[in-house]
């Protein structure tokens, strides 16, 4: 039996990938058991009760589970970045997809810095409890090996992602000078600089629109900046949290996706946007170049650089954006089998 240990996954891009992984495993009728975070108890109702457990995502709950089941599984995939807390007899694969374990932008607040530091230390302590590490890009491989001093032979690149469903989306003509940024409001997502750069662009040219997907959990500084901007009449539309089924429509209504994030593990939104025909205006950082050839790049720490990128998008010439990664879900499933 295969164990999918996803105890530390409950939201954002990791949850999207988990949904896709479970779908692919169940579609193939593999003999799999799942360890899920209780915060996603409403998810995966199609998986039989006897093949899943929901529990509070704590270290001690996970330790207890492994102590009680150390010989129960032939293969284990730890999908939440951290290997088992004990040595087990199974073949263990650990999918590492959290770049914030490797480096933290200065914008990260003290609380989150403490959390990621603690998790990074735990990962280091348990790094020998896995047979193989799976990462999403070559660039992640290099950073991971340097940070945790593991052998290159122990790391394999197997990116996977669900294709966004555009087949049933009503196609509309894209608004030429409109920009969309699908992201939560975490500080490292760099929304405040983007808002200020866009407002400068609009003040100069009196054109353009910016679409965001910020939910209630965003920082007070960011929400204050957003409220002030909309109150002053800037064409900035916050759609709030958008269900994945509706994302294709949002992408397809906009010509550009702008991506100022200071750190990304994979950048799922970049791939989704390109699938929907958007051109990428992106931060000139390694994560961006690991997944695509963007049309325009900028310095994400400079509002002036963002402004120049916006102006080039509307008034200049550029090459179409291209994906440079492929979906290797089949390779991952074969590894588990």
Please give the pLDDT value at position 136: 86
Exposure string (b/e) for 302-331, b if CB count within 10 Å is 16 or more? ebebbbbbbebbbeeeeeebeeebebbbee
What pLDDT, on the 0 to 100 scale, is given for residue 55?
Answer: 95
Identify the pLDDT of residue 168.
43
Distances (CA, A) of 149 to 141, 143, 157, 274, 308: 11, 10, 17, 35, 40
For 264, which DSSP code?
Answer: -
Q: Is 36 exposed, middle or buried (0-12, 13-18, 19+ CB in 10 A)?
A: buried
Per-residue model confidence (pLDDT) at position 133: 94
Q: Give dist(CA 6, CA 173) in Å, integer.
A: 40
pLDDT for position 243: 81
Residue with tokens 């975070």: 37
User: Are 135 and 97 a contacting pair, CB within 8 Å?
Assistant: yes
* Non-local CB neighbours of 72 within 8 Å, separated by 6+ positions: 1, 3
pLDDT digit string (tens) for 255-294? 999 999 998 877 888 999 998 899 999 999 988 998 899 9
Percentage of the chain exceeding pLDDT 90 = 58
Name the segment(s) of the chain with CATH classification 3.40.50.2000. 2-157, 175-323
Closest by CA to 22, choosing from 48, 60, 58, is: 48
How far is the C-alpha of 84 from the C-alpha of 102, rounded, in Å? Answer: 19
Element (H, E) at 146: helix 138-148
Q: Which CATH number applies to 175-323: 2.60.40.10, 3.30.1360.180, 3.40.50.2300, 3.40.50.2000?
A: 3.40.50.2000
CA 38 to chain centroid, in Å, comes to 21
2-157: what fold?
Rossmann fold (3.40.50)
Q: pLDDT tens for residues 290-311?
A: 889 999 999 999 999 999 999 9
Q: Mean pLDDT of successive 10-residue segments in the chain (337 residues)? A: 93 86 93 95 92 94 94 93 91 86 69 76 86 88 85 90 62 77 89 96 96 85 90 94 84 93 85 92 93 95 97 94 91 91
């Amino acid at each position: 039996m295969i164990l999918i240990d996803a105890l530390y996954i409950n939201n954002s891009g990791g949850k999207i990938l988990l949904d896709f992984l479970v779908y692919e495993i169940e579609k193939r009728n593999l003999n799999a058991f799942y360890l899920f975070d209780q915060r996603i108890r409403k998810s995966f109702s199609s998986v039989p009760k006897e093949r899943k457990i929901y529990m509070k995502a704590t270290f001690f709950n996970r330790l207890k589970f492994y102590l009680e089941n150390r010989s129960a599984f032939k293969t284990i995939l730890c999908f939440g970045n951290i290997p088992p807390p004990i040595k087990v007899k199974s073949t263990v694969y650990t999918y590492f997809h959290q770049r914030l374990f490797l480096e933290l932008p200065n914008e990260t607040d003290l609380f989150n810095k403490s959390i990621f530091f603690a998790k990074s230390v735990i990962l280091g302590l348990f790094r020998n409890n896995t047979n193989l590490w799976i990462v999403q890009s070559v660039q992640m491989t290099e950073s991971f090996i340097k940070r945790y001093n593991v052998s290159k032979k122990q790391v394999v690149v197997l990116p996977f992602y669900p294709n966004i469903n555009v087949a049933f989306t009503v196609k509309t003509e894209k608004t030429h000078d409109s920009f969309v940024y699908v992201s939560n409001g975490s500080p490292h997502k760099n929304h405040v600089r983007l808002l200020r750069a866009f407002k400068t662009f609009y003040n100069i040219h009196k054109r353009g629109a910016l679409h965001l997907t910020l939910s209630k959990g965003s920082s007070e500084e960011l929400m204050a900046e957003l409220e002030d901007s909309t109150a002053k009449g800037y064409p900035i539309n916050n759609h709030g949290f958008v269900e994945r089924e509706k994302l294709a429509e949002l992408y397809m209504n906009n010509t550009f996706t702008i991506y100022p994030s200071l750190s990304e593990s994979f950048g799922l939104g970049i791939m989704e946007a390109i699938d929907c025909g958007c051109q990428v205006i992106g931060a000139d950082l390694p994560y961006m170049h690991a997944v695509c050839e963007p049309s325009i790049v900028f310095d994400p720490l400079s509002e002036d650089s963002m402004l120049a990128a916006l102006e080039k998008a509307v008034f200049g010439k550029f090459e179409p954006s291209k994906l440079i990664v492929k979906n290797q879900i089949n390779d991952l499933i074969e590894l588990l089998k």
